[in-house]
Structure 1
């Protein structure tokens, strides 16, 4: 792995000897100049900073400047000025910039991956999902801009005499509050359709992963988006997040259900819209006719990608009696064979948790389950020898409703295994609780699995796949039911949420009032006859 840093752009690592016999993270550090260039993008005048350390080895990464409420005001003022000009640009121009971003992200993926891994501690192969998802998102919206945003003709009330068009008008300035678990893609993916629709963005990324989000902002500008169109602020949610909600024209939030409810309340107070992608306790169903080996492989990815710190990852696994024992054996064997490590290199199947808080939650859930009688099939312990916040991939059996991990989201590398007797019972148990984000069904009968999916109360359901089939298909909406959120990202819903629909009607020759000396009664009679005629002719 090369550690060189081309100037002015490139990988954010200082040169150093690399000894593969020892910790591959020990010889690397982030270039101070690189960090400074990124943090200058934050609008912050408080003079305060917050230290960020890497979950890989606890090494300090950066001191992040903190924004004030006045900085948020200024960010929105700059964004509004930029948005007024941006909204007047053509869709073709915006689309061209989006396609340049696609290429830029792919060209710079080594730099992006280094920074994501340093900040989040995830395995490099899971970090790769992030630039891939942004490239997919940029290309999709770049190529479908006219389809989603072009003026559409609609049926007029009087054929030939009433012309109606619907425009998609930008909301203005969108506030995006993004999480730490996918710091590059979640910082950008919701904002790209907002920009394409003619909006500006004020972004508040999570404090733990600001650098990845700032690199995304830098790439937007390098691709050709106007400088002030994307503003970044930093600081506690209680101060900066609340200020963003108080000034935006629309809010996009990804995070916990508890915080999401507060965001929704703040938006309701101002009568602005919001989209919320929140928590989940996602179920996976392995039916009696499933390919057991394929299901076991999928279950590993479903449970342990990004150490389980993925909104759409699985925490509850329901397996049919007929294949339960064989599946359990293969799932445990595959999990035990995983390559573990918190490093920058390729080759690890699972990386670290991001923080002490996450480690404490995972440890508490597992210890509570074991104390109340659950069996640990594999894993079940922290691994400080691998990293300060490392916890082994863990499979539990015998989890009961009195255990914390039965219904609460763990958001870590822990999954509970359950046996089911019939599919109606499995669906009922999958639908238990208040969440409804993502589900997975494994079966050799695709049509039957798709029919079963309609009974599962989740916003996305993947057949013979963990989450990639829906999440990577940008033309399809992604989001949660029930307490897993409201609104959708991706597809037409993912861009229309940032627009106001505006109907423009033009009337010719006649008016909707008595004409040619008609009385009101005569006018009503003529209109009634016309309504009957339109029905007979099959008009909508």
Structure 2
């Protein structure tokens, strides 16, 4: 396809000031890949693996695969570098994050090019995760040093006991990141870990390793010491367990099935982990909602990143009184999405990442149709657009025995349901094993907030689907129920990478009965003191 032909496919709504970058989406630059591999730990004669570019189905690049010995070496290097890194003050470490923030924004074009080639996503989705990197690095660089400073606490005896809380690094954090958001998830969990004084060993998904390496490269350019953050290359079943076996803390984003296995392994080693897992997220559209705005939010939430977004929407719950009007607007937006497989701006939705993902999405839709669901739009692969494209799909009449009702589809498929009352909507939203994200769309903010608090999910948005909670980095984000353990973002997202240590200094009197007093007399004196402290409202 020529550059001229590519330009003719662009939608008319693309602002003329936005540069259109039309490039060959079939392969990564070999020189770039060789340069970035310096951040990876692989042996002298590794097994090689070809990755596939989703836009074309052709080879994207060839990667060397790490071995167990390579993983061991990666942890050894990180541990050596971590000792010196932990001696730096949090403010010194924060300066690296601030420089990284600037580099991400300055070099965004190349970063997004690589991510698009490896994932097949639309550029607007690539920019969304790039912006997340900038937000996360700036937030933790600004507030993290204060969070990590030592804190004075009230001692058991006021004035006589001085208790101080210190925050020590865990050591080396093992991060296992997924393919769907490789710009963000390769490093945004590493940023607070590094700020806390830890080293990092990263196992990115094999499909998106080059994007992860590019982000690590920017961190090193920003001043991160060489060897502190190392990348090991390989698929999850073979490399992941070796990372878990050696890490002092594990951060995992991926499926609930794998998350359970990692939790078990961490439990056996008595180390902590944080797991962001699957979701079957619902958007509730109340009867008083702004329908135009609701249709835009639901379309964006359902088809961002071709539906391959753990906090995206797979269930749209609409009040029965407005369902026809909502569907008219919603379907018009879905059918207007532009599907164009190239590296550059302009596409409304990108490709699925692989043949495996395409097969899963096709199975969910075909199973639903066979059991009585109606396809309102879409419902089939689009091989004429690209090998892994699937049409943005909206289903109705979905029932509980259909896989698409209960299982995470992770593709461009939204199922529409109706409800009568807010109680019905809450029950439907909570009728899932997952509890990652949710949304309420309404003109009545007070009613929306009340409804949101009843949804069993780690994050719930009112008049937005996921961006409001995800982008609020100062507040925690994570899942309830089968959607995971722990939180990223906020205070929790930083302090989980630390070991709290309390040091107390006792002056004058101690805890044994003073000379000349019996134990009974000492207990009586202490009891009197406790009652006095309660009366004085001493905490």
Report the TM-score when normalising by structure 2.
0.95
- 1:378 maps to 377
**In structure 2, C-alpha distance between the alignment counterparts of 1:92 and 1:233, rounded to whole Å:** 29
Q: 1:42 Cα shift?
A: 1.4
- 1:44 maps to 42
Q: 1:500 Cα shift?
A: 1.0
**Conservation of the 8 A alpha-carbon contact between 2:252 and 2:274:** yes
1:265-414 superposed matches below 5 A: 265-414=264-413
What is the number of residues matched between the two proteins? 525
Deviations 1:254-291 (A, max 9, x none): 00000110110110110100000001111110011111
**In structure 2, C-alpha distance between the alignment counterparts of 1:429 and 1:30, rounded to whole Å:** 45
Deviations 1:36-71 (A, max 9, x none): 111232101152111011101123221111111111
SS at match of 2:124: helix
**In structure 2, C-alpha distance between the alignment counterparts of 1:78 and 1:470, rounded to whole Å:** 36
SS at match of 1:117: helix
Q: 1:27 Cα shift?
A: 7.9
Q: 1:519 Cα shift?
A: 2.1
SS at match of 2:322: helix
The farther-off stretch of 510-519 and 406-415 is 510-519
Per the alignment, do residues 296 and 27 of structure 1 end up closer, same or farther by CA in structure 2, a change over 3 Å counting?
A: closer
**Conservation of the 8 A alpha-carbon contact between 1:51 and 1:64:** yes
- 1:5 maps to none
Per the alignment, do residues 431 and 27 of structure 1 end up closer, same or farther by CA in structure 2, a change over 3 Å counting?
A: closer
**In structure 1, C-alpha distance between the alignment counterparts of 2:2 and 2:30, rounded to whole Å:** 18
Q: 1:238 Cα shift?
A: 2.5
Cα RMSD (Å) of the superposition? 1.4
SS at match of 1:138: helix
- 1:8 maps to none
Per the alignment, do residues 366 and 28 of structure 1 end up closer, same or farther by CA in structure 2, a change over 3 Å counting?
A: closer
1:18 and 2:17 correspond = no
- 1:246 maps to 245
SS at match of 1:260: helix
Deviations 1:450-509 (A, max 9, x none): 111111010000111010000011001111000000100000000111111111111111
**In structure 2, C-alpha distance between the alignment counterparts of 1:62 and 1:50, rounded to whole Å:** 8
1:6-405 superposed matches below 5 A: 18-21=3-6, 24-26=22-24, 29-45=27-43, 46-405=45-404
Q: 1:331 Cα shift?
A: 0.4
- 2:13 maps to none
The farther-off stretch of 30-39 and 213-222 is 30-39
**In structure 2, C-alpha distance between the alignment counterparts of 1:238 and 1:345, rounded to whole Å:** 33
**Conservation of the 8 A alpha-carbon contact between 2:53 and 2:60:** yes
The farther-off stretch of 39-48 and 259-268 is 39-48
Deviations 1:299-354 (A, max 9, x none): 01110000000000111111011211110111011111111122112111100000
**In structure 1, C-alpha distance between the alignment counterparts of 2:37 and 2:145, rounded to whole Å:** 35
SS at match of 1:64: strand
Q: 1:237 Cα shift?
A: 2.1
**In structure 2, C-alpha distance between the alignment counterparts of 1:471 and 1:327, rounded to whole Å:** 26
- 1:500 maps to 499
**In structure 2, C-alpha distance between the alignment counterparts of 1:414 and 1:466, rounded to whole Å:** 16
- 2:455 maps to 456
**Conservation of the 8 A alpha-carbon contact between 1:42 and 1:65:** no
**In structure 2, C-alpha distance between the alignment counterparts of 1:462 and 1:76, rounded to whole Å:** 39
Deviations 1:391-414 (A, max 9, x none): 011000111112111111100000
**In structure 2, C-alpha distance between the alignment counterparts of 1:28 and 1:311, rounded to whole Å:** 27
1:532 and 2:517 correspond = no
**In structure 1, C-alpha distance between the alignment counterparts of 2:440 and 2:25, rounded to whole Å:** 44
**In structure 1, C-alpha distance between the alignment counterparts of 2:295 and 2:2, rounded to whole Å:** 39
Q: 1:163 Cα shift?
A: 0.7
**In structure 1, C-alpha distance between the alignment counterparts of 2:219 and 2:58, rounded to whole Å:** 28
Q: 1:115 Cα shift?
A: 0.5
**Conservation of the 8 A alpha-carbon contact between 2:25 and 2:56:** no
**Conservation of the 8 A alpha-carbon contact between 1:17 and 1:27:** no
Report the TM-score when normalising by structure 1.
0.95
**Conservation of the 8 A alpha-carbon contact between 1:175 and 1:202:** yes
1:514 and 2:513 correspond = yes
